[in-house]
């Protein structure tokens, strides 16, 4: 009876910490559409800044689980009070809202598990907090699908050298054991970085913990990384401010989206083999015009490639390379601006880039006959990749483009016209530069105006990045444009190289049987000289 009474009183205490005014939530009947995420760690995951709590806006498809397993519409603070310290705004709800923005049809469930001031040793298997989080995950899974884990912890372990030195091994083992116990070998986990504002006196081993967190993200499969760079504290050199937590939640979401297996647009034709796809534009924020008809394969369809047309929802399909701080290339397939060839000049090129240690993004840009929209899509994509460089394990100073045929023209326009944005800013990503750091143009089309001059929009006097042009003399329709562009870059003193072959034709991708079949090896050598 004594044990029962103690558990009953504890349940009342935990429930009393929930925000007043929260309303009951309704998980969807389809468990597959209820995506549940565990929020694990210490006080920064729970949140400690209580400012701005009165400015919250409820989303009835973002729910939080109470200590007794009920689902309520999420409203900070969603974590329980520990000790005398009041919880505040954490990254969980901003994370969920950003995930909902990418997939409006989903309902997001948050399972608060964080406890302030706790060391890593309590979170490894056998520790009390590990067991509690595991139990809450199993309870939550009765209503939906465990889709991932957000981890933000390490300040306590930065206070003692033995704890800091053991951090990488302990965090890695915790992730491994949690996946095994939940029966989800590839469960996505995003680890957040501890703040850069920590006191050296209170956390003398913070750099050791920071390095460990970064290594876990780079070495353990299906682990993403949310950087805390530039995020401020609430004035105590320990806890993130409410404003910083909002941004941190968005960063967690971007890192989680990289590991999501589904396409960003369920009605679209997917790019084969991609780890994931993200929407280029936020919902209802895309400038310019969509296609008039529903996205489909181009007809009449030939069986040598997948050609997609009527694209109204441009996507970036990610093919990550192994390791950290990898260079990245956005792949622009060809198709005469009537369609995009998403495999032969898309996913196959991505696989080739991956073999060179380069992360690839295949851009499915708007079509048909929408050059303005396609340029908007590419400029936005460069900015998105640069904005999410840390979360996606990319070197933000080594982001290039490669384009084929019409995609080569598109890549040329992006490497010439970056000084002027093709659209008005829609969010913070648009503060990034749309200038690619290098460009590869493979049998590019439309570089001449049909009258012996460069086509409109090309400006060799611009700060054009290092450029590689690939073409063959027997591509009679388009070789003139490459020749003119090469000559213009030479006159302007721009760094570039022209790989000109006697034979090859047009539209071959990696399948050329004539002299131009050497282009992948020659291009790889050029990339290596650039430090890629």
- Residue 104 belongs to domain with CATH number: 3.40.50.1110
Q: Spell out where 118-266 has E strands.
A: 145-152, 189-192, 223-226
| 40 and 152 part of one domain | yes
Q: Looking at residue 171, what is its pLDDT?
A: 97
Residue 384, classed as helix, strand or coil, is helix
Q: Domain span at residue 512?
A: 276-529
Q: Looking at residue 424, what is its pLDDT?
A: 95
| 90 part of a folded domain | yes
| 12 part of a folded domain | no
The domain boundary, picked from 202, 223, 258, lies at 258
Predicted TM-score of the model (pTM): 0.62
- Which helix (H) or strand (E) is 475 found in, with range? none
**For residues 412 and 439, is the Cβ–Cβ distance under 8 A?**
yes
Per-residue pLDDT tens listing for the chain (532 residues): 344 444 444 444 444 344 434 677 788 888 888 999 999 999 999 999 888 777 777 888 899 999 989 999 998 899 887 766 788 889 999 999 988 877 777 899 999 999 999 999 999 999 999 999 999 999 999 999 999 999 999 999 999 999 999 999 999 999 999 999 999 998 999 999 999 999 999 999 999 999 999 888 878 888 888 889 889 999 999 999 999 999 999 889 988 876 664 434 444 456 877 777 788 998 778 999 999 888 887 655 566 788 889 999 899 988 888 888 899 999 999 999 999 999 999 999 999 999 999 999 999 999 999 999 999 999 999 999 998 888 788 999 999 999 999 999 999 999 999 998 999 999 888 999 999 999 999 999 999 999 999 999 899 989 999 999 999 999 999 999 999 999 999 999 999 999 999 999 999 999 999 999 999 999 999 999 999 8
Report phi then psi at 208, rounded to 5.
Answer: -65, -45
| 25 part of a folded domain | yes
| 365 part of a folded domain | yes
Distance CA 123, CA 439 (A): 46
| 491 and 346 part of one domain | yes
List 472's β-bridge partners, or say none: 501
| 184 and 301 part of one domain | no
């Amino acid at each position: 009876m004594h044990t029962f009474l103690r558990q009953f009183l504890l349940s009342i205490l935990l429930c009393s910490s929930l925000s007043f005014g929260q309303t009951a939530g309704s998980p969807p009947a389809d468990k597959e559409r209820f995506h549940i995420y565990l929020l694990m760690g210490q006080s920064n995951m729970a949140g400690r800044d209580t400012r701005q709590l009165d400015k919250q806006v409820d989303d009835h498809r973002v729910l939080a689980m109470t200590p007794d397993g009920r689902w309520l519409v999420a409203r900070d603070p969603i974590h329980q009070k520990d000790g005398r310290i009041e919880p505040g705004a954490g990254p969980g709800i901003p994370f969920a809202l950003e995930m909902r923005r990418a997939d409006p049809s989903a309902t997001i469930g948050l399972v608060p598990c964080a406890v302030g001031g706790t060391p890593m040793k309590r979170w490894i298997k056998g520790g009390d907090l590990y067991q509690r989080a595991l139990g809450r995950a199993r309870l939550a899974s009765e209503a939906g699908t465990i889709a991932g884990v957000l981890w933000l912890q390490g300040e306590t372990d930065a206070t003692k050298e033995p704890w800091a030195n053991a951090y990488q091994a302990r965090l890695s083992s915790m992730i491994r054991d949690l996946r095994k116990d939940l029966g989800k070998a590839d469960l996505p986990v995003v680890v957040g970085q501890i703040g850069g504002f920590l006191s050296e006196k209170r956390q003398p081993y913070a750099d050791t913990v920071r390095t460990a967190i970064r290594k876990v993200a780079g070495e353990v499969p299906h682990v993403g990384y949310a950087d805390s760079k530039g995020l401020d504290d609430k004035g105590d050199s320990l806890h993130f401010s409410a404003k910083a937590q909002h941004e941190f939640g968005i960063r967690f979401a971007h890192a989680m989206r990289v590991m999501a297996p589904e396409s960003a647009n369920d009605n679209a034709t997917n790019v084969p083999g991609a780890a994931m796809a993200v929407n280029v534009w936020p919902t209802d924020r895309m400038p310019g015009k969509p296609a008039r008809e529903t996205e489909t394969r181009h007809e009449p369809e030939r069986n040598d490639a997948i050609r997609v047309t009527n694209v109204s929802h441009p996507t970036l399909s990610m093919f990550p390379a192994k390791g950290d701080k990898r260079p990245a290339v956005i792949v622009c397939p060809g198709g005469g601006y009537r369609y995009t060839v998403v495999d032969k000049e898309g996913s196959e090129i991505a696989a080739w880039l991956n073999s060179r240690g380069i992360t690839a993004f295949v851009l499915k840009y708007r079509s048909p006959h929408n050059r303005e929209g396609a340029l908007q899509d590419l400029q936005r994509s460069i900015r998105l990749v640069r904005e999410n460089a840390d979360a996606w394990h990319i070197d933000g100073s080594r982001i290039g483009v490669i384009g084929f045929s019409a995609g080569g023209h598109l890549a040329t326009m992006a490497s010439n016209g970056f000084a002027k944005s093709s659209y008005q800013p829609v969010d913070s990503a648009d503060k990034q530069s749309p200038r690619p750091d290098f460009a590869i143009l493979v049998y590019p089309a439309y570089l001449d105006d049909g009258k012996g001059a460069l086509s409109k929009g090309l400006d060799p006097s611009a700060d054009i990045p290092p450029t590689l042009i690939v073409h063959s003399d027997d591509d009679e329709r388009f070789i003139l444009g490459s020749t003119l562009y090469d000559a213009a870059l030479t006159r302007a003193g721009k760094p570039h190289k022209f790989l000109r072959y006697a034979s090859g034709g047009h539209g071959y991708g990696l399948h050329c049987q004539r002299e131009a079949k050497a282009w992948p090896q020659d291009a790889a050598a050029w990339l290596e000289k650039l430090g890629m």
